[in-house]
Amino acid sequence: MGNELRWPKLLGSGILLARENVWWVGFLLIFSASCANDQNLADIILDSDPVCEPHSGLGPTSNQLLACTLVQRGLDRSFLIYIPDLYESQDIPAPLLFSLHGYTSSAIINLSYTGFQKLADQHGFLLIYPQGSILSTTGATHWNVGGWTTGSTTNDVEFIEGIIEWASTNYRVDVKRIYSAGMSNGGSMSYHLACHLGSKVTAIASVTGPMTFDTYRDCIPRGSTPVLHIHGLIDPVVPYLGNSVMMPINDVIEYWVQANNCDSQGVETAIIDQDGDGIGGTYTRYENCTSSANVDLYLLDNLGHQWPVIRSGLVRADIDAASIVWGFLSNFEIDGD
């Protein structure tokens, strides 16, 4: 695990291309330039095309898992891409799921506990695990979501957009079905993408990660974005009630319920503690939203800052986060169908 924490090597510091409203000006300029000629947008956003090679993160090195490196605004960046056999055997566009790690963590660690690969094998979607950059003030890996990451100079929205453009050019990506899910800071980044890259990210899911106050204040979502949130009620790292740098979860959910024009009262269902571990809870769905962009909330009793799973060897619960996340996200296309 020690070696995994060091992969991939991150060097230098990024350059903040733009933030908040200025970002949209930059986007319009980039979009106009791409319309003026046939230059690949990924070539505009990224300093270099990703260079990929087989990675042994799943055991024996295979072509199913590739480690990719690139340069973005002078900063060395990287990601893993998982290509299931079912994708290779089908000649149809495939959904693309981003899985974003938490603060201080890494792409390979996120791959090890989330459980998305099995679902990708079953359903044939492409799976990308981006690697966050180093936050200079702490020396830890992170995603720039404003708020407590204000010292960051990395434009992670641009990073994800560049990967989307590269993947869409090099693989059969269903551009109407691009999703983002994340743990903790990665969940917060998924909200950030919904706010600032909603034209390309269809739906998002967060496990334990709220919106920061900056993301909340500056959010410019598209018409409607399906949102799923999973949270433990005794999370000591990201309290359900929020704190000075993180929004209360109820406020986050209320924001998206209103943004999507959903019913203000959700339909609540009990999650029964079936295995006696004390981790039951409630599942609430907010329905009748614009373009059927539902908002789903899972609140789990006696669960801390953890990714819920139903399998031996990891923290158990009465829900499996990966299955719930994919089951939710896969219902949606970018036009809301």
Dihedral-angle region of residue 325 (phi above 0 means left; psi in -120 to 50 means alpha; beta otherwise) = alpha
Q: How far apart are the first and last CA of the chain?
A: 42
Sign of CA dihedral 49, 325, 94, 113: positive
The residue assigned the tokens 């704190």 is: 243
Q: What is the C-alpha separation between 289 and 300, in angstroms, rounded?
A: 24
Q: What is the C-alpha separation between 320 and 153, in angstroms, rounded?
A: 35
pLDDT at position 13, please?
Answer: 28
Task: Determine the distance from the C-alpha atom of residue 189 to the mean position of all C-alpha atoms in its chain, rounded to a whole number.
Answer: 6
Provide the 3-class DSSP secondary structure of residue 128.
strand
Provide the 3-class DSSP secondary structure of residue 55.
strand
Query: Is 58's pLDDT higher than 90?
Result: no
- Report the pLDDT averaged over residues 49-64: 78
**pLDDT single digits (tens) 83-111:** 999 998 889 999 999 999 999 999 999 99
Beta-carbon contacts of 312 under 8 Å, excluding residues fewer than 6 positions away, are none
Q: Looking at mean pLDDT, say which of 18-22, 77-81, 310-314 comes out highest.
A: 77-81
Task: Determine the distance from the C-alpha atom of residue 252 to the mean position of all C-alpha atoms in its chain, rounded to a whole number.
Answer: 16
Q: What is the C-alpha separation between 248 and 242, in angstroms, rounded?
A: 4
Provide the 3-class DSSP secondary structure of residue 232.
strand
Q: Which residue type, as a one-letter code, is found at position 102?
A: G
H or E element at residue 79: strand 75-82
For the chain, domains (ranges, CATH) are 18-329 (3.40.50.1820)
**pLDDT single digits (tens) 120-148:** 999 999 999 999 999 999 999 999 999 99
**pLDDT single digits (tens) 193-204:** 999 999 999 999
Q: What is the C-alpha separation between 155 and 114, in angstroms, rounded?
A: 25
Q: Encoding tokens for residue 20?
A: 């908040």
